[in-house]
Amino acid sequence: MTCCRECIDLLHDYLEGELDPQTHSRLEEHFADCPPCVAFLNTYKTTTNLTRSALANIEMPELIQAKLKEFLKNNVK
């Protein structure tokens, strides 16, 4: 990895275990030498976990669900 931006773009796949072994190793090597990326990774993990927990405890009202489904139906191709 030569670029912190490249690392940031891979964080989701890294945390989900979806990277190929070579990319995973290169990312780990970058983390070993880049404290700012490790700090960003830790913040990303915490934010993701908090968001998942919060959303798991919230039930979306039926009216909002219907409007969201209609919006997606009309706008996502």
* Each residue's pLDDT tens digit, 53-62: 888 888 889 9
- Read off the amino acid at residue 46: T
Q: Is the dihedral of CA 32, 37, 39, 41 positive or negative?
A: negative
What is residue 63's predicted lDDT score, i.e. its pLDDT?
95
Residues 56-73 have a mean pLDDT of 89
Residues 5-34 have a mean pLDDT of 92
For the cut 60, the answer to whether the pLDDT of residue 1 exceeds it is no
| Confidence (pTM) | 0.66
Q: How many domains are contained in the chain?
A: 1
Distance CA 3, CA 24 (A): 15
Domain that holds residue 34: 4-75
